[in-house]
């Protein structure tokens, strides 16, 4: 496989940032080859799965997203599909950095952290989950903070633009009247108006965000690498 010089340069810069990890990988591989005792606490070494700009996405990011529920994962989602979601997240994260989105209030961040930690039976189970993903508590909190910032940015940028007019809401209802039925009875528009507006707003917002992400992908340098376990 031939890599463009620009891609090689980006890889070199990312590798320089990950040099300590690569040194550990070499040490562990040599120990295994020589049947030497493995270092206490040694784990499977991380590896790159994608580079977005000059930001690395690693296999530990994939594991953390799946194990801790940091990305919405559907049943049967492959690592490749999850990596694509992480690429999109990094594109958004880079954009909010460019626009200087503020950090979340302490109470908002603490609430997010508690919601994720509550999925685990104990503090020990939580610590074990973090360690198995190669994620520190501070890195996890930074992830949660970035998620909050991304949500705030999307809300500020797209919520108002996604609002339909009253006429558009009525047209949406009329084109999907059968979707607004209960026990075979169609709800009149006056009863279904708020729900129709909510559904149409969600559709329009998703479309706006998808178009925006398409543009970010087109302008970004994205390199995908094999993600085999």
Where do the domains of the chain lie? 46-224
Model pTM? 0.78
Contact 48, 58 (CB under 8 A): yes
Q: From CA 87, how far away is CA 222, in angstroms rounded? A: 8
Strand, helix or coil for residue 51: strand
The answer on pLDDT for 25 being more than 50 is no
Q: Rank 27-36, 132-141, 161-170 by mean pLDDT and report only the highest.
A: 161-170
So what's the pLDDT on residue 226?
Answer: 77
The answer on pLDDT for 11 being more than 80 is no
Q: Tokens at residue 223, please? A: 């390199």
* C-alpha closest to that of 89 among 43, 53, 37, 114: 53
The answer on pLDDT for 123 being more than 80 is yes
Reported CATH class of domain 46-224? mainly alpha
So what's the pLDDT on residue 75?
Answer: 85
So what's the pLDDT on residue 189?
Answer: 94
Q: From CA 119, how far away is CA 108, in angstroms rounded? A: 18
Q: From CA 69, how far away is CA 62, in angstroms rounded? A: 10
So what's the pLDDT on residue 15?
Answer: 52
Average pLDDT over the chain, rounded to whole?
Answer: 85
The answer on pLDDT for 27 being more than 80 is no
So what's the pLDDT on residue 40?
Answer: 53
* C-alpha closest to that of 69 among 87, 82, 50: 82
Q: Which residues lie across from 127 on neighbouring strands?
A: none
pLDDT digits (tens, 9 = 90+) for 162-199: 999 999 999 999 999 999 998 888 899 999 999 999 99
* C-alpha closest to that of 83 among 64, 99, 103: 64
Mean pLDDT of 48-60: 94
The answer on pLDDT for 146 being more than 90 is yes
So what's the pLDDT on residue 12?
Answer: 53
């Amino acid at each position: 496989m031939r890599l463009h010089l620009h891609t090689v340069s980006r890889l070199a810069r990312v590798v320089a940032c990950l040099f300590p990890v690569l040194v550990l990988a070499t040490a562990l591989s040599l120990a295994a080859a020589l049947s030497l005792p493995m270092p206490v606490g040694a784990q499977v070494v991380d590896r790159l799965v994608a580079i977005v700009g000059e930001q690395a996405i690693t296999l530990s990011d994939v594991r953390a997203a799946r194990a801790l529920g940091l990305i919405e994962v559907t049943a049967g989602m492959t690592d490749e599909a999850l990596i694509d979601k992480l690429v999109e997240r990094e594109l958004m994260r880079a954009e909010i950095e460019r626009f200087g989105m503020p950090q979340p209030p302490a109470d908002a961040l603490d609430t997010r952290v508690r919601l994720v930690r509550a999925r685990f039976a104990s503090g020990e189970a939580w610590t074990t989950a973090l360690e198995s993903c190669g994620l520190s508590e501070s890195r996890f909190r930074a992830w949660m903070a970035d998620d909050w910032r991304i949500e705030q940015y999307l809300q500020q940028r797209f919520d108002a633009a996604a609002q339909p007019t009253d006429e558009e809401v009525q047209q949406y209802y009329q084109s999907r009247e059968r979707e607004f039925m209960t026990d075979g009875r169609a709800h009149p528009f006056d009863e279904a108006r708020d729900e129709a507006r909510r559904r149409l707003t969600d559709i329009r917002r998703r479309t706006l965000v998808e178009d925006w992400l398409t543009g970010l992908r087109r302008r970004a340098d994205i390199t995908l690498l094999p993600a085999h376990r």
